[in-house]
Each structure stands twice: as structure tokens, then as C-alpha cells.
Amino acid sequence: MANDDLVEIHVASGVNEAGAGFCTITARGGGGRILIGQLDPETVRTMALDWLGAAEAAEQDAAVLRVVRKLGLPDDLAGAVIAELRDTRAE
């Protein structure tokens, strides 16, 4: 594992003196480097939904590649299909 590899991201809830909620985000790298910051709940919620969407898209992309290879078609075709799916997802 390289020093700049992401090892984990941890999110914890909190509330400030004024009663506003916040989330503390901690990211740890392979070399032990730790980044800590605070974000408002709405930003964290949006990020979480983006992560879920990216995880689903990655699994779909892998499925396309598996099917294309199973059919004996060139990987370039899988790349074209995956690119088209990404463009469609962005719309």
C-alpha cells in the first residue's frame, strides 16, 4: 500500500454551541496521513448519494465488460458502451 492510498473515510455527527448540526469527516491514508474537516449535514448527504451512485455505476461498468468479454467481443466495444452509459447517466 502506497503512502497516498486512501485507507478509510469516517463520518461522525456533532452539534455546535448554537445548536447547529455538523459532520466531522476523517480520511486516513496508507502512510498514516490524516485529514480532518467539518461539513454541514446537507453537503455530507449529497456526497453520500454521489458515492452510492458511483459505486452502482462501477458495478454496471464491470458487468458490461464481463458480458462483452464473454461474447468474445473487443474491449474497445465495452469502452464505447461504458462511455455511452456514463453520458446517459449524466443527463
| pLDDT digit string, tens, across residues 11-67 | 999 999 999 999 999 999 888 888 899 999 999 999 999 999 999 999 999 999 999
pLDDT of residue 32: 83
User: In sequence order, what are the beta bridge partners of 80?
Assistant: none
pLDDT of residue 91: 73
pLDDT of residue 30: 85
Q: Give the relative orientation of helices 75-90 and 41-70 as an angle to the nearest 10 degrees.
A: 150
**What are 79's three cell numbers?**
469502452
- Candidate from 1-10, 25-34, 66-75 with smallest mean pLDDT: 1-10
pLDDT of residue 77: 92
30: Cβ contacts below 8 Å, ≥ 6 apart: 1, 2, 3, 4, 5, 6, 7
The answer to whether 43 touches 35, Cβ cutoff 8 Å, is no
- In the predicted structure, residue 1 carries a pLDDT above the cut 70: no
The pTM (predicted TM-score) of the whole model is 0.74
Average pLDDT over residues 81-86: 90
